Every structure is written in structure tokens, then in C-alpha cells.
Copies of this chain bind each other. A is one copy, B any other.
Amino acid sequence: MEEVAIVGVGNTKVGEWYDNSLRGLTDEAIAKTLQSANISPKEIDATFIGSMSPGLFNQQEHISALIGPHSGITAPALRVESACASGSSALRVAMMSIEAGYYDTALVIGVEKMTDLIDIGDVTTALGTASDGEWELGIGATFPALFALIMRAHMHKYGSTLEEYASVAVKNHKNGSLNPDAQFQKLISMETVMNSRIIAEPIRLFDCSPVSDGAAALIVTKKDLAKKYTDDPIYVKGTGAGIDHIAIHNRKDITTLESTKRATKEAFKRAKIKIKDIDFIEVHDCFTIAEVLALEDIGFCEKGKGGKFSLEGETALNSTISVNPSGGLKAKGHPVGATGIYQVIEVFKQLRNEAGKRQVTKNDIGVTHNIGGSGATSVVNVFSRGD
């Protein structure tokens, strides 16, 4: 059991916010978060910001100094980057700083403003820098292409089907339709997914998460200070991180995310839980194949059966295991460096029975699973209502 609690959260709606900025989005998320925890800027001892590439998306590095002082927070700040797992990684660093006794209370922010780049090709290239620049992006292998290779290999090795993958998108859009902060709140059919245009065969448009803008934040504090800020703190039971080769050609088996297995093992060990203890989970479904891999590699079903598990409805809201009640990256949206914090916020709300129409009924333990790149980095965090 870790020694920290989350006592307040805040975020912008995820979307394409052409009329807002990285600074404007974070201002909104910070203001909501401070209000949520009823805390003043002066009580923040440190700020940790997860963001994948403000340099490429917004021509702005050093956002640790941009964001805090702008909101009246003069505490030391730094940015943490692990591609799309930047948000979760920032939370891990914040936890370490508190558990090491450096700080009592930290603000953790995740932000990505992806629509400042006008050309979608530039966005794809910026995202591609999370792969191996020389051996993947440099030869034209964008992320849809990399996940297409993984998906095809999975179909070949395990016989997974296009229907199975489509079911992931349909389920996540259904959940997203119940989330007022989601980028997409419309139901879609299996036909919509399976007839959508091909991006990188066998991946179609509706297998992909969107380009998104968003900022999300939370306040993390020492366990024994938590009740000062809220009657209903959420505790981090365990955290785990894992790594693998950045380029998929260097991995033992491209249909398995070793980093997820490593992160899961560490997180479960620290949290002293088993897979069956988990009531719901937010997994990293940047593409439908990624959710299938997550189901298998975290351990909800047998290897190779993730798609079937999804198609049979075992991952729907309040079924066997509620997967991505928020709508996931697919429907809630995927502002890359912010995603890990959005996931924690969903778990925070679900555990506190504040998730409205998408509220899960079993909610003692919730988990987040956040990956970077094509899965070279994984972070898994376990949360609970009880201390």
C-alpha cells in the first residue's frame, strides 16, 4: 500500500479546442482542481506535469515554469515525459516525492494541446516521435501502421477477428455517450466501425482514438493529511511501471506487451491484490487492438482471447469487468500526455460514486493502465476507497 491519497481532481472536457491554448486549458484544469480539494495555491508544495510533446505540438518546452506561476503556484515544478504514459508517470514521481518526505502535497497535471498543428500529417509525425525515430517513424511507420502490424500478427497467431475488434469501439462509444466530458458522445454500430475507411489495414478509422486537446489535474497528499481536504479521499494502493524495446522489431513477441506484464506484476504486488479483486479498469485503448492486448496482458482473460472476451460482452459496463467506463481513449478522447490523469480522474469519480449515468455498481478497487508509444512503456496504478 502506497502512502498517498488523492483529494481533488479537475479537468477540461476533451475535444478539439481551436480557440484555446495549452496555457488556457491548464488554467481551467488547475482552477477546478484547487476548488475540488478546497486548497489554496500556497498549500501546493510541488507541481509535476505530464506532457508528451508541447515542443512539437506547441513550440513550447519548459511548461513546468509556464504553468505553475501563471496560476499563482510558486512551488518547484518539473515535467515528466513517457510519451502517452506521461500523465501516469507524473503521478508516480509525485508519489515518490511525497513518500520520500520532500513534500506533503503536490499538484499533478496532464496536458496536451494537439490541434495547434494545422496539418494532420504534422500531428501524425509528432505522435510518431514516440516510436523509434530512426527505425520506425523515419521509414514511414506511423502509429496506425505499427498497431496494424501488431493486430495482423494477433489475428494470424490467435485467430482474432475484425468483429471482435469492432466490439471494443462500440462498447467504448456506448460508455462515452454517458460521459459529459467525452469528446465523442454518440453511439456507433458494428457496421459503422467495420465499414469505416481503412487507415492502415486492418485498422479502420473507428479502430483509432482521436486527436484531442485536454488538461486534467489532481491533488495528491500524504495519507494522514487527506481528511483535511475531503471526507472522501481515494487511496493509491499500488503503482507499477514497466519497459520494453521502443521498436516493435526488437521485442520477443509483438502480440504481447511485456511492459504491461511487468507493470501489472509490480502494481499488484505493491497493492497486495489479485486480478479478481479489480472491480473496473481504465485501459489504454489508443487502438482497439491495444485494449485487446491490455485485457490479455493484465490478465482478465487467456492470451489470445481478449477480442472474444470483448465481443461476448464481458467488458461492458457492469458485466464481468467494467472496462473503460469513461469511454476510454476511443470515445472520451486521447490528449496524449494528459490521458493518464484523465484515467485517474475517472477512477476517482467511480470510487466516490460520482460517475453519473456510467456509474459502476461494484467499486471497491479501480485500476488504470496507461502505455507509451506502441507499448514500450506501461504504468499500472491501483486505487481504492478504503485506506
Q: Which residues of A contact B (CB under 8 A)?
A: 21, 23, 52-53, 55-56, 58-62, 64-66, 68-70, 74-83, 89, 92-93, 95-102, 125-126, 129-134, 137-138, 241-246, 250, 262-263, 372-373, 376-377
Contact = CB atoms under 8 A, between A and B. Distances in A.
Given A100-B99, A137-B59, A82 B93 contact: no
* Most chain B CB neighbours (cut-off 10 Å) among A66, A99, A137: A66
* Most chain B CB neighbours (cut-off 10 Å) among A23, A53, A76: A76
A102 B96 contact: yes
A126 to B, nearest CB: 8
Contact of A68 (B52, B69, B243, B250): B243
Given A78-B80, A79-B80, A65 B246 contact: yes
Nearest to A77: B243
B69 A243 contact: yes
B83 A81 contact: no
A23 B135 CA distance: 12
Given A93-B93, A246-B69, A55 B53 contact: yes
The 9 closest A-B pairs by CB, nearest first: A65-B376, A99-B100, A76-B241, A62-B83, A60-B133, A100-B100, A65-B246, A62-B130, A61-B129
A81 B245 CA distance: 22
B93 A64 contact: no
Contacts of A376: 62, 65, 69
Contacts of A93: 78, 80, 93, 96-97
A242 B98 CA distance: 17
Contacts of A65: 82-83, 243-246, 372-373, 376-377
A64 B377 contact: yes
A75 B243 contact: yes
A69 to B, nearest CB: 5
Nearest to A245: B69
Nearest to A61: B129
